[in-house]
Amino acid sequence: MHSNPVYLLPVPEFTSTWIKIYFGYCWPLHNFLKLCIQYGCYSLLRQRIDRLEDEVRENIARGMAILGPTFTLDALVECLVIGVGTMSGVRQLEIMCCFGCMSVLANYFVFMTFFPACVSLVLELSRESREGRPIWQLSHFARVLEEEENKPNPVTQRVKMIMSLGLVLVHAHSRWIADPSPQNSTADNSKVSLGLDENVSKRIEPSVSLWQFYLSKMISMDIEQVITLSLALLLAVKYIFFEQAETESTLSLKNPITSPTVTQKKVPDNCCRREPMLVRNNQRCHTVEEETGTNQERKVEVIKPLVAETDTSNKATFVVGNSSLLDISSVLATQEAEIELPREPRPNEECLQILENAEKGAKFLSDAEIIQLVNAKHIPAYKLETLMETHERGVSIRRQLLSKKLSEPSSLQYLPYRDYNYSLVMGACCENVIGYMPIPVGVAGPLCLDGKEFQVPMATTEGCLVASTNRGCRAIGLGGGASSRILADGMTRGPVVRLPRACDSAEVKAWLETPEGFTVIKEAFDSTSRFARLQKLHTSIAGRNLYIRFQSRSGDAMGMNMISKGTEKALSKLQEYFPDMQILAVSGNYCTDKKPAAINWIEGRGKSVVCEAVIPAKVVREVLKTTTEAMVEVNISKNLVGSAMAGSIGGYNAHAANVVTAIYIACGQDAAQNVGSSNCITLMEACGPANEDLYISCTMPSIEIGTVGGGTNLLPQQACLQMLGVQGACRDSPGENARQLARIVCGTVMAGELSLMAALAAGHLVKSHMIHNRSKINLQDLGTCTKKTA
């Protein structure tokens, strides 16, 4: 058998060796014992274990429950069939069949007890060093078998049971019912062959002592038996004296001890932090190679425990953020000794007492017990992160709760959640967190804008977008760069109030438009923030309802919360002058936020930016692969006339929303605000001495953007802002970073417009997308984008 498991080969060798020592040598016995070993049963069990190696013990138990009855029946049938040979009357055949039955029983005993225990132990101890491959070369042998459930065939089982009953009857009839003379004759013959007689009662004295007899037997062994025993002894010596120290050092790396007085307790069944196989992801803070390659003088704050590594071929694994920036308490918590917890969940009353105990808390409860408390309404599901010792564990438990409610429990398998700094998310960016979404981030550039070069990050899943924008940046750079200006800077909020009569609404509107009224409202508004400064009020009446649009600068923040706070304070002040006024909503859709609106297109909102560039005719021909005349004509027909025919508001562009959204996602902005931020009008005209150069401009009156607050606090998004040099607040001139980012957005939009319009003019759009924007992966093969490349 070419692919036999190598660890089973010594079984017949040892068996025949000891038979040779104690009973003499029988030449066919060695090969006969090889035929008695069921290699298939070991491979079938190993095949089931390899399917999901992160739940080794459960898979072994499941495999034994399915395969055990079948192998028990097989062993019984084999013993009964081979046992027929013990009644043949041929001495050598009887000996072979007797030891054959013993070999089958020993093989069955090993398979049912020793083999599963050894497999479980070795796989648990060798997870870190296997890098996703089996510790033995069993996976290749297991893959030889077909991928099937190996369910017992009822027809085969019935045939075997009928055979077993028949063979039992044969044995019973031959040994106890029939005339025992054949057996007696066989015994007599054996006695004669040994030179014995029943009537002889004389005691025979041995010529040599017992130890000399067995020593002579051992000395007379064959060469292969000597080699087998020697190899076994050498391996035992090697493991005891050489590999023990290496094993202890490996275990010390897995469980580092930060203090000699600290002792660690190992959970016997690892039940305190076990997760279901559908939601577990691979986690490993430091590999053994990284530990041994770094300085031996390790500091407490950088030591992290190794978690058992599972198969990484289909697991989503990401590391987000710098561990040194994490809360030191959470880092130290992971270094504490694991707490021994009961396997079965304890009663809710006892769990609640442990949870409310200040000295114990959630870390003394297992995941199953936490889930039990959530299901019993003792713990709100949205408070899991705050009640657990780490935010990540709260996310993990919520995923376990959610998986049981989904039609496809494995849906969350490829949604990563480990190694993320959730302390920056809680209370700021998201609630009921179950993970994070990795999105590819490309770079377009350099973008030459206002005499500076910028590498622009773009997070997108649309093919050709980054490449097209990058071509536009190259064309702008070859043309000498682009110029930009900030036209206005003011975030808005438009509440709606109601008065008893329409005439009363008109009276309030008139008072707000007076210098006295504006001064009173501005003083109240400005008192709420050191950055918010009310610029103007825009009012409108619809019957008794009065809509007031507050506009104010907000520094480097996008400013919605800041302006809302000032608006609320100003309305309270307004009520003091007009007690009959009723505040219906602090946001009356007169802002307007995240909705298409002409008021944003006309009045502006956030940052209003204009950007322009001149592209030489040579660059138009060689880089953009078209002509100035063709681009001007397409721009008029598409962006101006086409959008007007569609009744568009602020949509006089080719694809400004593409670029705006990609930059917003990469830089931590509110992606929903691309609705108003993508308002843009793209103009093109011929210029230059021969009217062959291309003049292009983009005007964007409502870019809602900021560099502090919200998603800009997350580390990956901060990295993208640092690429542009606008991360955080500007100390020298508050608001300058946000304005600079708005100019970069407008300049990148112009680059994207330039490239797309050129592709349309040259007829290359469909051709390029057929080549570069088509998925080439099998949609049935999920998770290929999140495979670990290490």
Q: Determine contact, residues 432/446, Cβ cutoff 8 Å.
A: no
Residue 492 and residue 495: Cα distance in Å, rounded?
Answer: 10
Among 744, 749, 756, 755, residue whose Cα is nearest residue 656:
749
Residue 86 and residue 167: Cα distance in Å, rounded?
Answer: 13
Helix (H) or strand (E) holding 291: helix 288-293
Q: Determine contact, residues 679/699, Cβ cutoff 8 Å.
A: no
Among 263, 91, 116, 48, residue whose Cα is nearest residue 186:
91
DSSP bridge pairs for 542:
545
Among 490, 508, 488, residue whose Cα is nearest residue 499:
508
Which residue among the candidates 50, 291, 450, 462 is catalytic per the annotation?
462
- Supply the angle between the helices 115-125 and 39-51 in degrees, to the nearest 10: 40
Q: What is the CA radius of gyration of the chain?
A: 40
CA-CA distances (angstroms) from residue 35 to 1, 40, 80, 84, 681? 11, 12, 16, 17, 83
Quick check: is 655 catalytic?
A: no
Which residue among the candidates 160, 565, 594, 625 is catalytic per the annotation?
594
Q: Among the residues of 303-442, which ranges form H helices? A: 328-335, 348-356, 367-375, 384-387, 391-403
Looking at 406-505, which runs of residues are DSSP E strands? 441-449, 452-459, 483-493, 496-498
CB atoms closer than 10 angstroms to residue 99: 21
Which residue among the candidates 171, 538, 769, 788 is catalytic per the annotation?
769
Residue 687 and residue 684: Cα distance in Å, rounded?
Answer: 10
The two beta strands, 452-459 and 533-542, are unpaired
Nearest 5°: the CA angle 637, 642, 647 is 155
Quick check: is 462 catalytic?
A: yes
For 780, phi then psi, to 5°, come to: -75, -20
Which residue among the candidates 670, 685, 692, 736 is catalytic per the annotation?
670
Among 58, 131, 123, 55, residue whose Cα is nearest residue 312:
131
CA-CA distances (angstroms) from residue 570 to 515, 578, 586, 657? 15, 12, 11, 34
Residue 169 and residue 161: Cα distance in Å, rounded?
Answer: 12
CB atoms closer than 10 angstroms to residue 327: 12
> Which of the residues are catalytic?
462, 594, 670, 769
